[in-house]
Chain A
């Protein structure tokens, strides 16, 4: 157990809908990273927050947004969902503001029907 928690574990929704994925980092970690893992795209970095502020951005679609709250938990919002958004979404946390030492949560499996 990495100490990073994610909810929900599974999510099934229809095209066009909006969902929110939640992540709680390890105690003391200030950075949260979001990743998308799909069979055809592999592990893709989406976005990083450090102590409440956006620190780095990857291949995140405009339909997706994220934020980190004062208690350091983070939420990833996915809207206008398409079939191709079906994937595993992981968050990771680290004590550093850089890419080093990231520990992943168990992931949320999103299925868009």
Chain B
């Protein structure tokens, strides 16, 4: 089955700096890659997703890039703010082939003032 590895497990940045979280996946047939943000005690929130026919997608301060050849994808957050502090999860899925989202182990992002 699919295996998703996520790095780093913790990331501390200064407010205003950029943050990058990286994930690799094992199944080359996976074609859907969402990112979720989970604040302490809250639900995971879908913040951005990308499909395998697209190399990059942006939404204001967040962007996701996908390298299908290397089987990795990354989340980029620019101009970080304290409210960006949370745990971020990447996931991968082969849509139409079991509909199972396999999650990475999460990255605890801390944005310091």
Pair B102/A45 contact, Cβ less than 8 Å: yes
Pair A42/B44 contact, Cβ less than 8 Å: no
Pair A100/B32 contact, Cβ less than 8 Å: yes
Query: Chain A, 75-113, contact with B by CB distance < 8 Å: what is the 0/1 string?
Result: 000000000000000100000011111111111000000
Separation in Å of the B113 CB from the closest CB of chain A? 28
Which residues from B are CB-within-8-Å of A106? 42-43
Which residues from A are CB-within-8-Å of B32? 98-100
A70 to B101, CA, bound (A): 25
A101 to B42, CA, bound (A): 18
Pair A99/B95 contact, Cβ less than 8 Å: yes
Partner of A90 from the list B43, B91, B98, B106 (CB cut-off 8 Å) is B43
For B, the interface residue count at a CB cutoff of 8 angstroms equals 23
Given contacts A43-B89, A107-B43, contact A102 B101 (CB under 8 A): yes
For A, the interface residue count at a CB cutoff of 8 angstroms equals 22
A105 to B44, CA, bound (A): 8
Pair A105/B43 contact, Cβ less than 8 Å: yes
Decide if A16 is an interface residue (CB 8 Å cutoff).
Answer: no
Separation in Å of the B99 CB from the closest CB of chain A? 4
Decide if B29 is an interface residue (CB 8 Å cutoff).
Answer: no
Instruction: List 9 A-B pairs, Cβ < 8 Å.
Output: A42-B103, A42-B104, A43-B44, A48-B99, A55-B99, A98-B32, A99-B99, A100-B95, A103-B46
A-binding residues in B (CB < 8 A): 32, 34, 36, 42-46, 49, 89, 91, 93, 95-96, 98-106
